[in-house]
Amino acid sequence: MTTRILAVDDSPTIRALVSKALRNAGFEVFLASDGVEGVGALSEVDPHLIITDINMPRMDGFGLIESVRSTGTHAEVPILVLTTESGDDLKARARSAGATGWIVKPFEDARLVAVIDKVLGR
């Protein structure tokens, strides 16, 4: 079974980089441009893991995390935050919202895949 990952970021460049890195590692990747689109894609994608940016229009990463955690069906899905932000206060806010982990951009493909493998127990 292929592992499905939903990557949510408002930057087309970041979506492309994440998609390429994950597809090269054998993941099935689905993309959304903001939290609203990401939440809307949950039932269709049924992801094993979600990667989200923090700063996005319409619904930011915190809103996305809170929305996912409040759904009955996807509340347990691991969520990794991939962002340029590195402040401890933001990390604490993401953790309290329900984020599983935090990766700072720019990222190395191998490191991103290693973190995902660790979180998913692959």
What average pLDDT does this structure show over 108-115? Answer: 95
- pTM listed for this prediction: 0.96
Is the separation of the CB atoms in 25 and 17 below 8 Å? Answer: no
Question: Domains in the chain, start-ordered, CATH in brackets?
Answer: 4-120 (3.40.50.2300)
| 1 — pLDDT class (breaks 50, 70, 90) | confident
> E strands within 1-122?
4-8, 28-32, 49-52, 79-83, 101-104
- Tens-place pLDDT, residues 91-102: 999 999 999 999
- Tens-place pLDDT, residues 5-52: 999 999 999 999 999 999 999 999 999 999 999 999 999 999 999 999
Q: Per DSSP, what are the bridge partners of residue 107?
A: none
Examine the pLDDT at 81 and tell me if it is beyond 80: yes
